[in-house]
Amino acid sequence: MNFKFSDEQKLFLNMVSDIAKTDVASIATITDKESKFPTETIKKLAENGIMGIPFDKKYNGAGLDNLTYVAAVEELSKYCASTGVIMSAHTSLCAWPISEYGNEEQKDKYLKPLAAGEKIGAFGWTESEAGTKTTAIKNGDNYILNGKKVLITNSHEADIFVVFAKTDFETNALTAFIVEKGAKGFTVGEAEDKMGVRGSSTAELYFNDCVVSSKNILGNIGEGLKIAMSTLNGGRIGVAAQAVGIAQGALNEAMNYVRNRMQMGQPISHHQNIQFTIADLQTKIDAARLMTYRAAATKDLKEDYGYMASMAKLFASEVAMEVTTKAVQLFGGNGYSKKFPVERMMRDAKVTEIYEGTSEVQKVVIAGHLNIK
């Protein structure tokens, strides 16, 4: 499988890297400290086509592929995981299912502003208990939604939500709906005070006799579970890319630190133990990156990639936790101080083992693919 980027891809990714090193890196600390959504930075990403990388140009996308997209997510996440998850959740979890399952009217109304970054997207799937309790009952030309979603990324800033609700009470079949911010009966709760990725809002969504037009059914009635699972498969590649970016960013910081930290008249990077630690960590990061690229490239080929996405997310997230933890250790006492970014990166890394399916869920998916019973 060839992961060599074309000249067009290289040009685009160099632009992403330039923005990441300047606009993204400069706001990472304050974004974390104040739990502040990076409005101006997201605007800069939108102006440069980064909020719609894998979508057709006729829908305001950049017209590139999923491999380019995950490389961009990684680059952003090296410097600010909050920015990486905002862009990734917006792209993978909201814009993508509309691109894949929406009709032309829906793509024109919703995908175009999402891909242009004029509006932010979110994905209303998770509930407080296993399964989906949120209901949607047909009422004339509308559906009435009642229920609650929890821990929803981009919840406060999102303008467009892809939401799942039970429409058949005999079969428990689900249907996907596009719900707009400000819809009657739809409210967003207070933002969670999180451990990491603090610049991305996470909150509950409340549907109290929420009125949604039948025109906003995404795909067909009863196809909600299929749409959700295929969307999560793609989202897991995005999470893997976030994890790779966080890990590489933390190791880059650690390498720079050990080259300049003097002990007994020489940099501590001269110690073989330090060199071996860094060599091991970089090897694991490269392996995680290759697994992530493989899943993205397979998705581009329109082949089965679900288990590859789970493998990439499982491995990359665990690598991110290992690398960031050891990066803090390489900094010594300074690693525990907020004067340096590695403690933030360690906090940011943890959620990659949790959201869009915990590591345990990924193992269930992988074992299922291997038909182990």
Across the chain, mean pLDDT equals 97
Which one is predicted more confidently, 9 or 129?
9
Same domain, 150 and 205: yes
Per residue in 259-295, pLDDT (tens digit) is 998 888 899 899 999 999 999 999 999 999 999 999 9
Task: Kindly report the CATH number assigned to the domain that includes residue 169.
Answer: 2.40.110.10
pLDDT at 264: 85
**Is 1 among the domain residues?**
no
> Is 356 a catalytic site residue?
yes
Q: List the structure tokens of 364.
A: 């269930």
The alpha carbon dihedral of 133, 134, 139, 143 has a sign of negative
* Structural domain boundaries enclosing 81: 7-119
160 pLDDT tier (thresholds 50, 70, 90): very high
Q: Is the pLDDT of residue 373 over 80?
A: no
Query: pLDDT at residue 117 above 90?
Result: yes
Q: Is residue 64 part of a domain?
A: yes
Give pLDDT, residue 175.
98
pLDDT band for 316, please (50, 70, 90 cuts). very high
Q: What is the largest CA-CA distance in the chain?
A: 79
Please choose, from the candidates 321, 315, 326, the residue with its C-alpha nearest in 3D space to the C-alpha of residue 287. 315
Catalytic position from the list 74, 253, 318, 356: 356
Look at residue 193 and tell me if it is in a domain: yes
Whether residues 339 and 350 fall in one domain: yes
pTM beyond cutoff 0.85:
yes
88, 73 in Cβ contact below 8 A?
A: yes
In tens, the pLDDT along 18-73 reads: 999 999 999 999 999 999 999 999 999 999 999 999 999 999 999 999 999 999 99
* Total number of domains in the chain: 3
Q: Are 93 and 126 contained in the same domain?
A: no
Cβ neighbours for 14, distance < 8 A, ≥ 6 positions apart: none
Q: What is the CATH number of the domain that holds 345?
A: 1.20.140.10
Buried b (16+ CB within 10 A) or exposed e, 180-215: bbebeebebbebbebebbbbbbbbbbebeebebeee
- Residue 111 pLDDT grade (very low, low, confident, very high; cuts 50, 70, 90): very high
C-alpha closest to that of 341 among 82, 37, 38: 82
Q: Are 253 and 327 in contact (CB under 8 A)?
A: yes
* Cα 274 to Cα 17: distance, rounded to the nearest angstrom: 28
Domain's final residue, options 206, 224, 242: 224
Residue 131 confidence (pLDDT): 87
Flag whether 2 is in a domain: no
Listing DSSP states for 113-157 in one string gives HHHTTSS-EEEE---SSSS---EEEEETTEEEEEEEEEEEETTTT
CA torsion, ordered 291, 293, 298, 301, to nearest 10 deg: -170
The confidence score (pLDDT) of residue 2 equals 82
Q: Which residues contact 176 (CB under 8 A, 6 or more apart)?
A: 97, 101, 162, 163, 164, 217, 218, 219, 223, 224, 227, 228
